[in-house]
Amino acid sequence: MSDSVVLRTIGGMLFPYILVYGLYVQMHGEIGPGGGFQAGVLVAAAFILHALLFGKELTDRLLPTWLVDLAMSLGVLLYIGVGILGLVKGRYFLDYSVLDPTHPAHAEALGMTLVEAGVGLTVASVILTMVRKVNGESS
Amino acid sequence: MSDPVLLINVILLVIAVVTAIAAMWTRDLLGAVMLMGIYSLLLAIEWANLFAMDVSYTEAAVGAGAATILLLTALTRTGIREKAGPNFHPTALLTVLVTGGLLIYGTADMPRFGDPQAPATVNVAPEYIAQNVGKVDAGDDGPENDFGDHVPNTVTAVLASYRGYDTMFETAVIFTAGVCVILILRPLSPSARRETAQNQEDA
Amino acid sequence: MSLFATFNSIAFVVIMMIGLYTLIARQNLVKKTLGLGLFQTGIFLMYITLGVRDGGSAPILQEGADLAYSNPLPHVLILTAIVVSLSTMAVALALIIGVREEYGTIEADEIATIDRAEAEEGHEA
């Protein structure tokens, strides 16, 4: 597919915008439609498009496999870490109010943002890993 | 027919069912995958029509995007033709008719489309929309935010706050699936490869 | 009117049954996976339909507006279910690729024939 000039040009122009849109969906998840699951898929789709257009080697240099593997576990650990923080501070598991004791509503928003970031990180890296593995790339 | 939501819903579902039958009927796996992509896109419009914006987002990105790419990539390694065979399968037809008949009989008691008195709408939904969790002592000292201390998107609120445990293990399931794919498709170690070659020589 | 009001509860059963029929009648493993995916979307349709409310709007709160919002709970359940269904499909495809490399075919009946032949060889040896 990478020999088509039209596809390469248009795809190359779209790539950063898809990434920024994914970040927008991630950060805007509390206000509009969106959240970690959707943003994760969008970011993964951006990198899959990049790999389809410019070849796996370039995408691998942009985003090495070890980094994706690390992000996969970091997302889950971030989620569980927010939960355990509640236990450490003497409250319930996943009690967001420990994040900002003076203003529970803000703590709630902060907790949701952190948790959604964890979800987004995991979903994006897992989907990217799946497509890479099914495509037959060794790590 | 005064309700446009219901009318669009019926039209979209008829097209979606026809697309699904075509996707399952064809023996060309490549065509089936493309038809499933179209089916997912139709469903994404249908979710938007039924006011499920977040689900619509996800379906468009996953169903029509990521799943189609994944299936196409897999097809390059499994072949794109399905073996010819009879389309009629009496056991399958009997199973489907009995199960489907029972399910339709069971849905007779379900509330009608959009019933404001439906149990799902009356009992827990107001609680989720009011979002009282964690807001018990939202003090007056902090700076006022635009949405009266609420997260405007109730879907995110339920996802990350009310059902935090559920979402956590959902994320763990996705992580586990990723690890599974890595382990299943890992290249064989040199000793295992020698063993396989040995077995093939013996056979 | 009454058919239209209950149309979705029939449509989701029809979609599920198309998937189930494919799952039983077809031997190709990839086709079986597609049928399973179709079965899942039927369940998604049932859940989202339950959340709909007459004159409702998307469950995104608007300041000062007194709207009848849809039930957000089915949306949350299905949103996560879609992503999980993609993950499970990826695991299934990985297994199918493994089966293809081992047997050289992805038709379930041919795989059963090969297995039976190998078992008989084992008995004779």
- Angle at B65 (CA atoms; ends C18, B43), nearest 5 degrees: 45
Domain assignment present for A139: no
Name the domain count of chain B.
Answer: 3
Q: What is the pLDDT of residue B148?
A: 57
**Record: contact C90-A41, CB cut-off 8 A:** no
Q: Give domain status of residue A113, yes or no.
A: yes
* Residue-wise pLDDT tens digits, C69-124: 888 899 999 999 999 999 999 999 999 999 998 888 899 899 999 999 999 988 87
> Do B69 and B97 belong together in one domain?
no
User: If you average pLDDT over residues B33-54, what whole number do you get?
Assistant: 93
| Domain count for chain A | 1
Question: Is A56 among the domain residues?
Answer: yes
B99 contact residues in C (CB cutoff 8 A): 17, 20
DSSP assignment string, chain C: -HHHHTHHHHHHHHHHHHHHHHHHH--BHHHHHHHHHHHHHHHHHHHHHHH--TTEE-SB--TT---EEPPHHHHHHHHHHHHHHHHHHHHHHHHHHHHHHHHS--BHHHHHHHHHHHHHHHHH-
Using CA coordinates, name the residue in chain A closest to B58. Answer: A38
Q: Indicate whether B188 and B109 sit together in one domain.
A: no
Q: What are the tens digits of pLDDT across the range A36-95?
A: 889 999 999 899 989 888 888 888 888 999 999 999 999 999 999 999 998 998 888 888
Question: Which residue in B55, B57, B71 has the most chain A C-beta atoms within 10 A of its own C-beta, making it the best mutation to test that interface?
Answer: B57
Q: How confident is the model at residue B137 (pLDDT cuts 50, 70, 90)?
A: very low
Domain made up of C2-54+69-124: CATH architecture: Orthogonal Bundle (1.10)
Q: How far apart are CA C106 and CA B78, in angstroms?
A: 7
Those of residues 73-112 in A touching chain B at CB distance below 8 A are 73, 75-76, 79-80, 83, 93-94, 96-97, 102-109, 111-112
Highest-confidence range of B20-24, B111-115, B119-123, by mean pLDDT?
B20-24
Same domain? B11 vs B78:
yes
Q: Is the dihedral of CA A34, A38, A44, A48 positive or negative?
A: negative
Q: Which structural domain range is residue B35 located in? A: 1-84
Cross-chain residue pair C49–B50, CB shorter than 8 Å = yes
Give domain limits for chain C: 2-54+69-124
**Could you tell me if residue A54 is inside a domain?**
yes
| pLDDT at B138 (0 to 100) | 46
**Residue B170 counted as domain residue:** yes
Domain-located, residue A46: yes
A29 assigned to some structural domain: yes
Residues B22 and B48 placed together within one structural domain of the fold = yes
Domain limits at A68? 5-134
Among positive and negative, which fits the CA dihedral A21, B176, A71, B151?
Answer: positive
- Nearest-CB residue to C94 (from A40, A123, A133): A133
